[in-house]
Structure 1
Amino acid sequence: MANQVSERAEEPVTTGSAFAGAQYLMGLQLFTKLATFAMNIVIVRLAGIESFGVASVDFELLLATLLFLSREGMRNALLRTTSDPPTRSTQRKPGAKDQLLINASLVPIAIGMVMADCAYLVYARGSNNERRMAMVIYIVAAWVELCVEPLYVLSRARVLFKVQAKCEGIAVAARCATVAMLLIIGRQMAVDDDNPFSLVAFAAGQMAYALTILAAYAWYMSCELEYRVWHCYVPRKSSAGYFVMPETRSMAVTFAGQSLLKHFLTQGDNMILAMHASDAVKGTFALVTNYGSIPARIIFLPLEEASRAMFSRQSNGSPIENAKLARRVLDILGKFQFLLGAILVVFGTLYSPTLLALLGQNDKATSAAMVMYCLYLPLMGVNGFLEAFVHSVADRTQLVQANAWMIVCTVTYAIFSVQALSVLQFGSAGIVAANMGNMAMRIAYCAKFIKQWFQSKRLPGPKISEMLPHRNVILACAGSALAIIITQSYAGKDTLLMRLMSLGVGGLLGLAVLATIWKYERKFIGAVQDLKSGNVDKLKTD
C-alpha cells in the first residue's frame, strides 16, 4: 500500500479546487456535528450536566491549548507554500518542496512534547484521581494528534480535502463510539447514580480520536504520496543547507503570536468559565455552544478554510486580475453570510426555545443564551472570511498591526465577559454578548484593512450594497418573523403538540423564504455555482 502511486495529473490550487473541496469539509462538519449532537444528548443523561461541563470546558480548554499553540502558527505559514506536483513515477524520497513542508511540520510535534510535559506539571497537581487520570490521557492524546501534522500539511498543500474529510470523519465516529460505550458500561456499574467513568470516558474518546486519525491519514496518504509514509517523519536539510526556510520561520513566529491572541479570543469564554463558574454553569454553556455552533461548524468553518486556501495564492498570476477576483469572491461570500444571517436571526431566535424544550432543556437561562448565540452566529460568519482574507494577503508588518488590534480585542472582551458573569450575573448569555462585541471589533478592523488594500491596488473594494439581500428577501424574512410571533402568541398551552405545530408553521415559512431567495437572487446563485466550479473568467466579468 505504501508504494502505490497517485495517478493524478498536476493540479494547482485554484479558486475552483479550493471551493469545490469545501463541499467535503461541509459534509465532514455535518457528520461531526450530528454525531456530536446525538452523543451530547446521551452524555448529559448518562454522565450528568456537571461532568459534561468539566469535559466540555476544562478538558477541551487543555486540549485546545496544547494543539492550537503547538501547530497553528506553522500551519498558517505553510498555507503559502506549495508542494511538489504529483507524478506518475515512484521515488524513494520526498522532493525538495515536500521535504521543506515535512521539516516545518515536524516542529509542532517537538513543541507539543515540551508543552505536554509542562501541562502535566501544571494541571495534574491538586486534582482527584479520576480527574488527574483523565487529564493525563488528554495530554497524551493531544501529542498523538500532533503526530498527524506532516501528513495533514502535505494533504492540505495538495488540496486533498476529501482525504481530510474521510480521516476526520472516521476519527469522530471512533470518539463517539468510545465515549458512549464507556458511559453505558459505567452506568451499569454506578452506585447512587455516580458513573465511575463520567470523566475518563471523555479522555478515552479523545485518545481513540487521536490514534484513529493518525492511522487514517497514514493509510490514505500512502495512496497519494510517491514515497513511503515514514519519510514524512525524517527531517533532511535542503540544498541551501537549512531545514526550514527563513521566510517560513519568520511567518510562523508572526502567526504564532497571532495564534496566541486568537486562542485567548476563541477560548476566552472557557478560560473565564473555568475560573468563575460552577460545573453546572459550565455544562449549561457547553450545551448552548454545542447546539448553537452547528451552523458555524457545518458552513462557516469550511468556507473560511476554502477562502484561506484561495486567498493565500494571491501572489500567483497577475496582481490586478487576482485583486479583481478577490473582490468578487468577497462580494459573493458577503452576500451568502447576509442571507444565512437573516435566516438565523429570524428562525433561530424565535424557535430556539421551542427546540430546547423538545430536547429537555426548558430553563430560561439556557433559552436566553441560545437566543443570543443565534444573534452572534452571523457576526462569526462575516468575521471568518474577512479574517481569512486579511491573514492570507497581509505582509509581516501588517500582521503585527493586526496582532496589536487583537490584543485590544482580547483585553476588551476579558473585561466585559468577567463583568457580565461575576458582577452583572448575566450568566452564559452575558459571555455570548461579550463575544458579539469582540467579533464586531474584529470585523471593523478587517473592513478597514480590506478597504486600504484595494486602494493600494487602485481598485474599488467590496461594497456593502452588493452584499445586501434583495429587498423582497428582506420583506419575506420580516413577514416570517411577524407571522411566527403571532402564531406563538396564539398557540395557547405550551404542550408537545403545540410545539410541533409551531415548528411546522416555521418550516412552511422557511420554505417560503428559500423560494423568495431562489426567485430574486438568481444572479447570486449563479455566481456561487461559478465559484464552486472554478469558472474564474466569468467571475471576473460579472
Structure 2
Amino acid sequence: MEKKTPHLPSTSEQILERSTKGATFLMMGQLFTKMVTFVLNNLLIRFLSPRIFGITAFLEFIQGTVLFFSRDAIRLSTLRISDSGNGIVDDDSEDYQETHYKSKVLQTAVNFAHIPLWIGFPLSIGLTAWQYRNINAYFITLPFFTWSIFLIWLSIIVELLSEPFFIVNQFMLNYAARSRFESIAVTTGCIVNFIVVYAVQQSRYPMGIVTADSDKEGIAILAFALGKVTHSITLLGCYYWDYHKNFKPKKLFSTKLTKIKSSESNEIKKNYSKNSSYFFQNDILEHFKKVYFQLCFKHLLTEGDKLIINSLCTVEEQGIYALLSNYGSLLTRLLFAPIEESLRLFLARLLSSHNQKNLKLAIEVLVNLTRFYIYLSLMIIVFGPVNSSFLLQFLIGSKWSTTSVLDTIRVYCFYIPFLSLNGIFEAFFQSVATGDQILKHSYFMMAFSGIFLLNSWALIEKLKLSIEGLIVSNIINMILRILYCGVFLNKFHRELFTDSSFFFNFKDFKTVIVAGLTVCLVDWWFIGYVKNLQQFFVNVLFALGLLALIMVKERQTIQSLINKRAMSGSKDV
C-alpha cells in the first residue's frame, strides 16, 4: 500500500486548526515529560546537595547556550519560507506538481538546517573549553568530571544532527511527532540519570564500593551528563526512524546539502537567488542574519540570570535558584511555553502572506490569548505567594530545609506573569516584524541588557538581596521588553483597524481585578501564609470562586470558541 504524502497546511483555517491542536500536543508532551522529570528530580533531591544541583544547572546552561545560538535563529527564519507553489511545475499531473514543489520547499528548509551544526561545532568547543578552564577548582578534581564535560559536548553535537528532521516537522506543523519523540527522549535521559545516581547511593558502583563524598558527587555529575547524551541519541534515533518511514519513500528531501534549481516563475524567482540554482534562499538568509543578531541580545536577557548568579552568587545559591527555576516556572513550562511556541509557528506560517484576512485573524488570536494570560496572571499573583511555600515544602528533602528557598519562591511568583506575557508579545513581534524592525529591536535589547546587568549588580552586590534581587531585576527587564513590544503591537493594531488601540480590548477588566484584590486582602487578613491543609482548602475555594466569576464574565467568548470548534468538527466529519 502506497504511503500518503505528508500534508502541508496552506489555508489560514488549516494553519489555525493544526496550531491549536499543536498547542494541545505540546502541552500534553510537556505535561508528560515534566511529570517524569518531576518525580525523578524529587527522588534525586533527597540524594544530592544544593552544590551538585548548582554545577549540573551550570552544565545545562552551557548546553542550552550553545544550542540556542546554533539553531534558534534558523528555526524562526525557516518558517518564513514561502509554500505557495501555484504554477511552479508545468506538468499535467497535479499530484506530481504538489509533490515536486513540496520537495523543493522542504529541501530549502533542510539546507538551512545544516547551518546550526556549522555554528554549533566550533562554538561548543570554544565555550566548553573556556568554561572548563574557569570553573571552580574543586569540581576539576572530582572523579569523571572531564568525562562529564566531554559527554555534555557530545550531546550538543548529536542533538544538532537531528535539526534537519526537526525543521521539516516544524515547517509542516507535525506537532504530534515532535511531542512524542521529545517525550521519549526526555524520559529515557531522566531514567538513565536516576539509575546511575541511585546505584551509587546503594553502593552498587561496579568498580568497587564508593565511600568518599567527592566520588559520589563526581559520579552524580557524570550521571547527569550520561542522561543528556542518552536524551540526544534517543531524539536523533526517533527522528531518523520517522524520516525512513514517512519521508524517504517519497524522496521529499535529502538530508545532505543539496543544490536546488530556480523556478521559471518570476513571482517565485524574486524570492530566490538570481543564479540558476542555489543552496539557500536569499531573503530567508538575510532575515536569518538579522534575527540571529537580535537573538544574541534576547538570550543575554533571557539567560542573563544564570550569568549573573554564576558570577555573583555561591554554588549553593546557584543550586537554590536552579530549584526555584524548576518548580517556580513549572506552570510557565507546562502551559505558557507550548502556547507561545504554537503561536510563533502559527503566526509565521499564517503571515507568510500579509493579506487583511490573515492579519485580522492573527490579531484576534493574540487578543484572546492575552485576555487568558491576564486572568491567569491575576490568579497567580493572588494565590501564588501565600500557597507556594506550603506546597513546595512537601517536595524538597531535609538537605534543603535550612535554605531560603521557601521564602524566595513567594517572590518568584510575581515574576511568572511578566515572563509569560512577554513571551506571547515577543512571539507576535518576531512573526510580523520586518528585518529592519528586528534590527532596531536588537539595539533596544542591547540597552535592556545593560540595565539588567546594572540592576542585578546593585541589588545583589550592593543591597545584598541575593536571589530576591535577581528576581526583581528580571521583573524590571520583562517590563521593559513588554513595553517595547506593546508599543509595536499598538501601532500595528491602529494601522490595521483604523486608529483603534490594541489595549482597548482589555478595558473591561475592572470587575475581575476588584474581585481579585478583595479576595487577596481577605485571604491575607484572615489566613496569611498557608501553613496547613485546612487553610489551603480555603484558598482552593477562594480560587474556584474567582474562576467562576471569570468564566461568567467571559461566557460569550467561551461559547463562541465552543461553537467554532463544533463547526470545525462537523466539517471534518
* TM-score, length-scaled by structure 2: 0.85
Q: Which amino acid aligns with 1:422?
A: E
Higher relative contact order (CA 8 A, sep 6+): 1
Query: Are residues 530 and 283 of structure 1, via their aligned partners in 2, closer, same or farther at CA, if it must alter by over 3 Å?
Result: farther
CA contact (8 A) 1:19 1:531 kept: no
Query: Are residues 87 and 369 of structure 1, via their aligned partners in 2, closer, same or farther at CA, if it must alter by over 3 Å?
Result: farther
* Distance of 1:229 and 1:505 partners within structure 2: 60
Query: Are residues 229 and 51 of structure 1, via their aligned partners in 2, closer, same or farther at CA, if it must alter by over 3 Å?
Result: farther
Question: 1:366 maps to which residue?
Answer: 405
Question: 1:538 maps to which residue?
Answer: none
Question: 1:540 maps to which residue?
Answer: none
Deviation at 1:316, TM superposition (A): 5.0
CA contact (8 A) 1:386 1:447 kept: yes
Q: Secondary structure at the match of 2:133?
A: coil
CA contact (8 A) 1:24 1:161 kept: yes
* Distance of 1:534 and 1:287 partners within structure 2: 44
CA contact (8 A) 1:32 1:169 kept: yes
Q: How does 1:104-143 map to 2 (within 5 A)?
A: 104-125=112-133, 127-128=140-141, 129-143=143-157
Judge which range, 450-459 or 170-179, deviates more.
450-459
Question: 2:544 maps to which residue?
Answer: 511
CA contact (8 A) 1:296 1:381 kept: yes
Deviation at 1:161, TM superposition (A): 0.6
In the alignment, structure 1 residue 443 sits paired with structure 2 residue 482:
yes
- Residue number among 172, 176, 191 corresponding to 2:211 in the alignment: 191
Q: Secondary structure at the match of 1:197?
A: helix
CA contact (8 A) 2:33 2:183 kept: yes
- Residue number among 464, 468, 473 corresponding to 2:512 in the alignment: 473
CA contact (8 A) 2:165 2:239 kept: yes
* Distance of 1:438 and 1:90 partners within structure 2: 46
* Distance of 1:214 and 1:533 partners within structure 2: 38
Deviation at 1:395, TM superposition (A): 0.8
* Distance of 1:501 and 1:63 partners within structure 2: 43
CA contact (8 A) 2:81 2:352 kept: no
Give deviations 1:74-110, integer Å, cap 9, x for gaps.
1111111256999799989982111111111011112
Q: Which amino acid aligns with 1:425?
A: K
* Distance of 2:121 and 2:566 partners within structure 1: 42
Question: 2:256 maps to which residue?
Answer: 234
CA contact (8 A) 1:379 1:440 kept: yes
Query: Are residues 490 and 102 of structure 1, via their aligned partners in 2, closer, same or farther at CA, if it must alter by over 3 Å?
Result: closer
Give deviations 1:326-348, integer Å, cap 9, x for gaps.
22222111101100101111111
Query: Are residues 405 and 96 of structure 1, via their aligned partners in 2, closer, same or farther at CA, if it must alter by over 3 Å?
Result: same
Give deviations 1:479-533, integer Å, cap 9, x for gaps.
4323432442598xx5xxxx22222222222222222222221123235547878
Deviation at 1:433, TM superposition (A): 0.7
Question: 2:74 maps to which residue?
Answer: 74
Q: How does 1:138-177 map to 2 (within 5 A)?
A: 138-177=152-191
Deviation at 1:350, TM superposition (A): 1.1
Segments of structure 2 that go 5 or more residues without pairing to the other structure are 86-93, 135-139, 204-209, 262-275, 569-573
- Larger Cα Rg: Structure 1 or Structure 2? 2
Q: How does 1:46-445 map to 2 (within 5 A)?
A: 46-56=47-57, 58-82=58-82, 95-125=103-133, 127-128=140-141, 129-189=143-203, 190-194=210-214, 195=216, 196-225=218-247, 227=249, 232-239=254-261, 240-315=276-351, 319-360=355-396, 365-445=404-484
Deviation at 1:38, TM superposition (A): 2.1
* Distance of 1:257 and 1:335 partners within structure 2: 31
Q: Which amino acid aligns with 1:397?
A: D
Segments of structure 1 that go 5 or more residues without pairing to the other structure are 536-542
Query: Are residues 80 and 172 of structure 1, via their aligned partners in 2, closer, same or farther at CA, if it must alter by over 3 Å?
Result: same
CA contact (8 A) 1:74 1:104 kept: yes
CA contact (8 A) 1:7 1:87 kept: no
CA contact (8 A) 1:74 1:108 kept: yes
Query: Are residues 276 and 331 of structure 1, via their aligned partners in 2, closer, same or farther at CA, if it must alter by over 3 Å?
Result: same
CA contact (8 A) 2:99 2:252 kept: no
Deviation at 1:36, TM superposition (A): 2.3
Give deviations 1:361-391, integer Å, cap 9, x for gaps.
5557323321222111111111111111111
Q: Secondary structure at the match of 1:191?
A: coil
- Residue number among 9, 13, 19 corresponding to 1:11 in the alignment: 9
CA contact (8 A) 2:351 2:431 kept: no
Give deviations 1:235-264, integer Å, cap 9, x for gaps.
111113211111111111111111211111
Query: Are residues 136 and 44 of structure 1, via their aligned partners in 2, closer, same or farther at CA, if it must alter by over 3 Å?
Result: same
Query: Are residues 523 and 226 of structure 1, via their aligned partners in 2, closer, same or farther at CA, if it must alter by over 3 Å?
Result: farther
Question: 1:524 maps to which residue?
Answer: 557
Deviation at 1:408, TM superposition (A): 0.9
CA contact (8 A) 1:170 1:212 kept: yes
Q: Which amino acid aligns with 2:224?
A: F
CA contact (8 A) 2:66 2:156 kept: yes
* Distance of 2:567 and 2:228 partners within structure 1: 37
CA contact (8 A) 1:338 1:469 kept: no
* Distance of 1:321 and 1:161 partners within structure 2: 25
CA contact (8 A) 1:5 1:90 kept: no
Query: Are residues 342 and 531 of structure 1, via their aligned partners in 2, closer, same or farther at CA, if it must alter by over 3 Å?
Result: farther
Judge which range, 508-517 or 333-342, deviates more.
508-517
Deviation at 1:306, TM superposition (A): 1.5
Q: Secondary structure at the match of 1:235?
A: coil
* Distance of 1:26 and 1:531 partners within structure 2: 21
Judge which range, 304-313 or 257-266, deviates more.
304-313
Q: Which amino acid aligns with 2:62?
A: L
CA contact (8 A) 2:19 2:342 kept: yes
CA contact (8 A) 1:254 1:399 kept: yes
CA contact (8 A) 2:103 2:253 kept: no
Q: Secondary structure at the match of 1:331?
A: helix
Q: Secondary structure at the match of 1:233?
A: coil
Percent identity (aligned): 25
* Distance of 1:443 and 1:216 partners within structure 2: 38
* Distance of 1:531 and 1:417 partners within structure 2: 47
Judge which range, 22-31 or 362-371, deviates more.
362-371
Give deviations 1:255-276, integer Å, cap 9, x for gaps.
1111211111111111111122
Q: Secondary structure at the match of 1:95?
A: helix
Q: Secondary structure at the match of 1:450?
A: helix
Q: Which amino acid aligns with 2:40?
A: M
Query: Are residues 455 and 465 of structure 1, via their aligned partners in 2, closer, same or farther at CA, if it must alter by over 3 Å?
Result: closer
